[in-house]
């Protein structure tokens, strides 16, 4: 239980660093994905710790996955557009 919460926190902080430190656009998208995965891990751990079975965090994680897929799709389209018009795949 504590192990998974610590793991989620560590993943969250590493991803936060990644968003600011990386210059490559795809790496930034991946960092944001890892960040939302860390939040999902936190939520699933909370659901496990609840007495009985708590369905709400599962619904939240499922919705969150759908949202993340959509945001990633938009991000990738933007990267493709940027690559086509500016001939670059990194931005400060």
Q: How many residues bind another protein (CB under 8 A)?
A: 33
Residue 70 lies near another protein (rule: CB under 8 A) = yes
Q: Which is nearer to another protein, 3 or 85 (CB)?
A: 85
Classify residue 18 as exposed, middle or buried by CB count within 10 Å of its CB (0-12, 13-18, 19+).
middle
Cα distance between residue 86 and residue 79, in whole Å: 10
Q: Considering only residues 1-60, where is the footprint of another protein by CB under 8 A?
A: 12, 19, 25, 28, 32, 35-36, 38-39, 42-43, 46, 49-50, 54-57, 60
């Amino acid at each position: 239980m504590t192990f998974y919460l610590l793991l989620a926190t560590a993943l969250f902080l590493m991803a936060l660093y990644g968003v600011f430190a990386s210059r490559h656009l795809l790496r930034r998208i991946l960092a944001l994905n890892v960040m939302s995965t860390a939040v999902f891990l936190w939520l699933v751990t909370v659901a496990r710790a609840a007495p009985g079975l708590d369905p709400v965090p599962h619904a939240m994680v499922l919705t969150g996955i759908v949202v993340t897929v959509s945001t990633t799709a938009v991000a990738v389209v933007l990267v493709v557009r940027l690559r086509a018009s500016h001939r670059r795949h990194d931005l400060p």
